[in-house]
Amino acid sequence: MMLDDGFADVPAGRIAAVVTHLDMHEPARLRAEHVAGELSFHHIKRPEAAWYRQLYAYVGGHAWLWFSRLKLDDRALEDIIRDPLVEIYALRHGVADEGLLELDFREKRACELAFFGVSRKLLASGAGRFLMNRAIERAWARDIDRFHVHTCTMDHPAALEFYMRSGFVPYRRQIEIAPDPRLEGVLPMSAAPHVPVIAPQ
Ligand SMILES: CC(C)(COP(=O)(O)OP(=O)(O)OC[C@H]1O[C@@H](n2cnc3c(N)ncnc32)[C@H](O)[C@@H]1OP(=O)(O)O)[C@@H](O)C(=O)NCCC(=O)NCCS
């Protein structure tokens, strides 16, 4: 896959990102929180597919090109998000859902921070730290040995260092090459302008 000169081809119609995998093996110390009182944290039991898809696209799709969950039909999506080993949380600002946290315990004695983010409106407001502290508490409330996450270069540029400050340690990097969800009609062409669309001729 990797050529001698360090370059790898990316076919037209695809997007490429460097993915960093990180984990922690004991609960990290929670960091100080600086948030105003309008934030609240809610466990959404048996979420509706339409509600989840809307929040996922709002937090991660249009801004950061999250796409995997947008490709699933209602049944396939609800099979995951209603699994008793998957926990979905919404971060609310007033009455509006402005952040998503998904913890996946389907792997034995492990938890994946499967999706984590706040809306553009709440970036750099302290909401991310508030949500991460809740994520660490909820993950380690179950009997696990490992809490892990991956992030890629299409995500917010501060995400990787934010995860490292949160106590996750990088252990592997990969290149991901995936079909461009904008060309597949999964997301609008205007999504994530920091990742250029290279359509096949
Ligand atoms: C990754 C992400 C959650 C980081 O969030 P953020 O907006 O930078 O988070 P915050 O504003 O809470 O925190 C940044 C830091 O500023 C601090 N801060 C924020 N407001 C502050 C204030 N008023 N006073 C003092 N410190 C403050 C926080 O405490 C935090 O400090 P720490 O990291 O040293 O503990 C956010 O960028 C995001 O949701 N991105 C979009 C989705 C995404 O890319 N997700 C990751 C993909 S897997």
Domains and CATH numbers, the chain: 14-28+44-179 (3.40.630.30)
Give residue 39 CA to ligand 1 midpoint distance, Å.
14
Q: Which residues of 88-101 are buried (b: 16+ CB within 10 A; e: fewer)?
A: bbbbebeeebbbbb
Predicted TM-score (pTM) of this structure: 0.96
Atom of ligand 1 nearest to the CA of 155: 44
Give residue 162 CA to ligand 1 midpoint distance, Å.
7
Spatial strand order in the sheet of 110-118: 39-43, 86-93, 96-104, 110-118, 146-152, 14-24, 169-179
What tens digit of pLDDT does each residue of 22-80 get? 999 999 999 999 987 789 999 999 999 999 999 999 999 999 999 999 999 999 999 99
Enter the tokens of residue 149. Answer: 């996450």
